[in-house]
């Protein structure tokens, strides 16, 4: 049987220029690809709309959640509230949250645990900067990030995304050699943490032009797609990389 695969659209703080309704309608026209799950992660206020516009086999995710359950945390949204709004997944520890909002590995670990308590599947992101890569041994760095970002995480459905910071939004994706080395190291780390069932995604300038080459890498279980996920035609053409 073919392996389980996952394709996640991270719209960031953007909406598809063609409109949410048109985008969702295009997803509803698809023939299913066996063992491939699709997740759309829109900005918070659109979670409910996307959930009610796509058919059951397409899931909805959030791009962030609070580490707390409730209380005086102005501007925050709890994992349970996201679940209530229709999300089943949540991205935590994206590099933009780490660099622009000062999120630490320990905060990310708390968010991942909050997600599990609310029955959301966390997509935990790790990835090195170009400085770290140039200094050597980037795999040690990302495995360290993974261990710290999963502290106290015992069980539950989990996805990890390897997103090198220098590849995000730059049009410069990681080579298959870099992706393979990173994914092998992360896979071994997950096994040591007794989390061998986790899916391992690649993210960073995935496009219709490079998706077939990247999807062919054995250690890649799917993609986290930013810019190219905002256009349904480009996103669906990436999806074809997992057909057959
Ligand atoms: P990108 O973003 O595909 O635009 O590089 C990926 C991400 O940030 O998740």
**In whole angstroms, what separates CA 17 from the centre of its chain?**
22
- Residue to probe by mutation, ligand 1, list 227, 228, 237, most atoms within 8 Å of CB: 227
Assess contact for 94 and 13: CB atoms under 8 A: no
Q: pLDDT (tens digit, 0 to 9) for every residue of the chain, 244 residues total?
A: 568 999 999 999 999 999 999 999 999 988 888 899 999 999 999 999 999 999 878 999 999 999 999 999 999 999 999 999 999 999 999 999 999 999 999 999 999 999 999 999 999 999 999 999 999 999 999 999 999 999 989 878 999 999 999 999 999 999 999 999 999 999 999 999 999 999 999 999 999 999 999 999 999 999 999 999 999 999 999 999 999 7
Catalytic pick among 96, 103, 163, 173:
163
The verdict on whether 163 is a catalytic residue reads yes
Distance CA 147, CA 150 (A): 5
Distance CA 75, CA 73 (A): 6
Catalytic pick among 94, 96, 103, 183:
94
**CA 39 to ligand 1 center in whole angstroms:** 14
- Helices marked H in the chain: 20-28, 47-53, 79-85, 95-100, 105-117, 130-135, 138-149, 176-192, 211-215, 232-239
Distance CA 73, CA 184 (A): 39
pTM attached to this predicted model: 0.97
**CA 27 to ligand 1 center in whole angstroms:** 20
Answer yes or no: is the C-beta of 123 below 6 A from any ligand 1 atom: no
């Amino acid at each position: 049987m073919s392996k389980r695969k996952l394709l996640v659209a991270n719209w960031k703080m953007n909406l598809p220029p063609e409109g949410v309704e048109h985008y969702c309608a295009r997803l509803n026209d698809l023939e299913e690809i066996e063992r491939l799950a699709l997740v759309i992660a829109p900005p918070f206020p659109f979670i409910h709309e996307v959930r009610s516009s796509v058919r059951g086999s397409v899931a909805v995710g959030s791009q962030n959640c609070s580490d707390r359950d409730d209380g005086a945390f102005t501007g925050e949204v709890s994992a349970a509230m996201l679940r209530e709004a229709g999300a089943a997944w949540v991205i935590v520890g994206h590099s933009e949250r780490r660099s622009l909002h000062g999120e630490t590995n320990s905060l990310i670990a708390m968010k991942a645990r909050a997600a599990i308590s609310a029955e959301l599947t966390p997509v935990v992101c790790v990835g090195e900067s170009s400085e770290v890569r140039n200094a050597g041994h980037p795999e040690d760095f990302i495995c360290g990030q993974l261990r710290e970002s999963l502290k106290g995480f015992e069980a539950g459905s989990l996805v990890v995304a390897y997103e090198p910071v220098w590849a995000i939004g730059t049009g410069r994706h990681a080579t298959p050699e870099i992706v393979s080395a990173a994914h092998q190291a992360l896979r071994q780390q997950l096994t040591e943490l007794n989390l061998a069932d986790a899916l391992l995604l690649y993210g960073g300038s995935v496009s219709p032009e490079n998706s077939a080459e990247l999807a062919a890498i054995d250690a890649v279980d799917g993609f986290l797609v930013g810019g190219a996920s905002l256009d349904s035609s480009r996103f669906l053409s990436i999806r074809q990389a997992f057909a057959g």
